[in-house]
Chains A and B, each alone.
With several copies, the nearest count.
Chain A
Amino acid sequence: MAAAVASAEDAVLRAILEIADDGLILGHRLSEWCGHAPMLEEELALANMGLDLLGQARALYAHAGALEGKGRTEDDFAFLRRERDYVNCLLVERDNRDFAHTMLRQLYFAAFMQPFWHATVQTSSDETLRGIAAKADKEMSYHLRHSGEWVIRMGDGTEESAARMADAVNELHRYTGELFMVSPARQQAIAAGLLPDPESLRDEWDETIATVFRAAKLELPEIRTMQKGGRDGIHGEDMGHLLAELQFMQRAYPGQTW
């Protein structure tokens, strides 16, 4: 269960797992497109983005394991926790649905993470994190550009694509609030100077989204209540099915080397 945070070390670990889990789950979602994308170029682009995110997750899990010092490996974190212990935000676990949903999800996420990593490079007191961030910053710039261009294309494309984009906005926008929510663990990591405060990134995110939406002829929806729960390990019902696949081999063949 998403247990109460006991110590400063626990808090940092937990805060890093939040970002790592975001990468793992979104990377997994992108990898589900493999072989099913709308065109060959997008097979490559989706795989690229998935690889970036999985790579970030790997580095972050390794760092978390080192910080924890209990010998947990990247695979222990990625494959051997309970659903309630994954602390990714809900946005990244939402199903791929169609290309509009997938690209909008990517835009929302990258528009947050690119400045997030950028600020981490500048300000984090943790050298390993700064290293991870420097690479991730560049990667997320590509995600942002690529997904932004697609959102514009689809938003200002055909009648059907515009309707699908609008539907995606309607579905997904209410998951963006969680990007800015600060869990108690995250608060400690911010206070310790390890990670940037999401609040400081809000203006940039707002502006990025507004700019893309303007070009895409999309309307920003009014959201009464932003969804939350992921950071407390309360995931939507797709998550369990995703994990059944993700964890299958590690669960079915425990303790083996692959």
Chain B
Amino acid sequence: EEFLKAFQARVDREEKIEPNDPMPEGYRRTLVRQIGQHAHSEIVGMLPEGNWITRAPSLRRKIALLAKVQDEGGHGLYLYSAAETLGVSREQMTEELLSGKAKYSSIFNYPTPTWADIGAIGWLVDGAAIMNQIPLCRCSYGPYARAMIRVCKEESFHQRQGYEIMMTLAKGSEEQKEMAQDALNRWWWPSLMMFGPSDSESTNSDQSMMWKIKRFSNDELRQKFITATVPQAEYLGLTIPDPDLRWNEKTQAYDHGEIDWAEFKAVIKGDGQMNRDRLRARNKAWDEGAWVREAALAHARKRADMKPIAQEAAE
């Protein structure tokens, strides 16, 4: 009781909580869940974009896309490391992802049938992610906040890159423009869903706000995203697929149409078009890599003087 109060006071003073600091179990659990989901999202998020690396339409785009997906892997690494400071191992988190127990962002359960999806993901999905993540750079938990600073910097580069792909398409041939519009049509609503349920439906939010893990409500962030994105779409000459979208002078924000929460829930439950394929791809990579990881361990045991693989790969 006393401890909780003191902890809250630290948080209120905007002091960073560090790994060895005492913290309430709920705070730790919330962070572990949130950082884990975030890390898993980076890893699963490699798949829909990875789908286009071998078919990217130019060398420049191929290299940029491969580098982007690599960055996502890197984000996964920092985030797993941040979660490890809370006493949960990467193996454990990986297990939870692979078994389907842990969640990842539902946005990655939609397929990427066209090249324009790569643009749309950069523009909208990374755009929405940044909206969510910028406040996390000031998260009360130090390691998470610091990881997010690096992540956000890269994400905003990705977002600009995605927007530039959309721009190229929108200024391209009729067919390219159509492709861009089609991608916007398919990604718009799922992007709005990335902010989670409406505030009226959202659980866990208040406590997270108190602890300064979260700083804005789902609806606030969604609104910010819409406000930022609508003029970008206009600039591209593309139409946002929401007939109810209009500027509201009174609220100084956009009113938008009803989000299809039934779809949102179905995808969260595992019934989106790609859920099973995503988990299967991750499980396959993991299972087929087992002998490699075992070999590395066995070899390291034989040569105790070898430096850890992680360190070397980071060089």
Interface 9-mer from B19-27, B148-156, B168-176, B221-229: B168-176
Is B218 in contact with chain A by the CB < 8 A criterion? Answer: no
Q: In the complex the two chains form, what is the Cα distance from A150 to B296 in whole Å?
A: 8
Q: In the complex the two chains form, what is the Cα distance from A222 to B293 in whole Å?
A: 30
Number of A-B contacts (CB under 8 A): 194
Q: Are B69 and A47 in contact (CB under 8 A)?
A: yes
Q: Are A146 and B295 in contact (CB under 8 A)?
A: no
Q: In the complex the two chains form, what is the Cα distance from A236 to B48 in whole Å?
A: 10
Q: In the complex the two chains form, what is the Cα distance from A237 to B295 in whole Å?
A: 31
Q: In the complex the two chains form, what is the Cα distance from A98 to B62 in whole Å?
A: 23
Q: In the complex the two chains form, what is the Cα distance from A146 to B50 in whole Å?
A: 23
Q: Are A84 and B46 in contact (CB under 8 A)?
A: no
Is A32 in contact with chain B by the CB < 8 A criterion? Answer: yes
Q: Report if A38-B172 is in contact (Cβ < 8 Å); known contacts: A154-B295, A171-B276.
A: no
Q: Are B298 and A50 in contact (CB under 8 A)?
A: no
Q: Report if A149-B312 is in contact (Cβ < 8 Å); known contacts: A40-B73, A158-B295, A237-B277.
A: yes
Q: Report if A50-B66 is in contact (Cβ < 8 Å); known contacts: A253-B57, A258-B115.
A: yes
Q: Are B288 and A38 in contact (CB under 8 A)?
A: yes
Q: Report if A99-B70 is in contact (Cβ < 8 Å); known contacts: A1-B182, A41-B313.
A: no
Q: Are A249 and B70 in contact (CB under 8 A)?
A: no
Task: From A35, A51, A152, give the contact of B46 (CB < 8 A).
Answer: A35
Q: Are B298 and A227 in contact (CB under 8 A)?
A: no
Expressed in whole angstroms, the minimum distance between the Cβ of B215 and any Cβ of chain A is 29
Q: Report if A237-B77 is in contact (Cβ < 8 Å); known contacts: A84-B113, A225-B266, A256-B173.
A: no
Task: From A54, A164, A225, give the contact of B271 (CB < 8 A).
Answer: A225
Is A240 in contact with chain B by the CB < 8 A criterion? Answer: yes
Q: Are B54 and A161 in contact (CB under 8 A)?
A: no
Q: Are B274 and A236 in contact (CB under 8 A)?
A: yes
Is A83 in contact with chain B by the CB < 8 A criterion? Answer: yes
Is B304 in contact with chain A by the CB < 8 A criterion? Answer: no
Q: Tell me the nearest residue of chain B to A154, going by C-beta.
A: B295
Q: Report if A240-B298 is in contact (Cβ < 8 Å); known contacts: A35-B50, A256-B173.
A: no
Using Cβ atoms and an 8 Å threshold, which residues of chain A touch B55? 240, 244-246, 248-249
Using Cβ atoms and an 8 Å threshold, which residues of chain B touch A70? none
Q: Tell me the nearest residue of chain B to A38, going by C-beta.
A: B289
Q: Tell me the nearest residue of chain B to A44, going by C-beta.
A: B73
Q: In the complex the two chains form, what is the Cα distance from A149 to B298 in whole Å?
A: 14
Q: Are A161 and B291 in contact (CB under 8 A)?
A: yes
Expressed in whole angstroms, the minimum distance between the Cβ of A224 and any Cβ of chain B is 6
Considering only CB atoms and an 8 Å cut-off, how many residues of chain B contact the other chain?
Answer: 70
Is B114 in contact with chain A by the CB < 8 A criterion? Answer: yes
Using Cβ atoms and an 8 Å threshold, which residues of chain A touch B296? 153, 157
Task: From A45, A58, A149, A257, give the contact of B168 (CB < 8 A).
Answer: A257
Using Cβ atoms and an 8 Å threshold, which residues of chain B touch A256? 57, 172-173, 175-176
Q: Tell me the nearest residue of chain A to B178, going by C-beta.
A: A1
Using Cβ atoms and an 8 Å threshold, which residues of chain B touch A98? 288
Contact with A along B278-315 (1 / 0, CB 8 A): 00010011101111111110111010000001101111
Is B67 in contact with chain A by the CB < 8 A criterion? Answer: yes
Q: Are A47 and B276 in contact (CB under 8 A)?
A: no
Expressed in whole angstroms, the minimum distance between the Cβ of A256 and any Cβ of chain B is 6
For chain B residues 141-168, which have a beta carbon within 8 Å of chain A? 165, 168
Is A183 in contact with chain B by the CB < 8 A criterion? Answer: no
Q: Tell me the nearest residue of chain B to A46, going by C-beta.
A: B70
Using Cβ atoms and an 8 Å threshold, which residues of chain B touch A14? none
Expressed in whole angstroms, the minimum distance between the Cβ of B313 and any Cβ of chain A is 4
Expressed in whole angstroms, the minimum distance between the Cβ of A1 and any Cβ of chain B is 5
Expressed in whole angstroms, the minimum distance between the Cβ of B144 and any Cβ of chain A is 18
Expressed in whole angstroms, the minimum distance between the Cβ of A70 and any Cβ of chain B is 18
Q: In the complex the two chains form, what is the Cα distance from A195 to B245 in whole Å?
A: 40
Is A189 in contact with chain B by the CB < 8 A criterion? Answer: no
Nearest first, the 9 A-B pairs at minimum CB distance are A38-B289, A157-B295, A161-B295, A249-B57, A41-B313, A47-B70, A225-B271, A38-B292, A258-B57
Residues of B at the A interface (CB closer than 8 Å) are 43, 46-48, 50-51, 53-63, 66-67, 69-70, 73-74, 76-77, 80, 111-115, 165, 168, 172-173, 175-176, 178, 182, 186, 266, 269, 271, 273-274, 276-277, 281, 284-286, 288-296, 298-300, 302, 309-310, 312-315
A-B contact pairs, 5 of them (CB 8 A): A36-B285, A38-B293, A54-B62, A146-B313, A253-B176
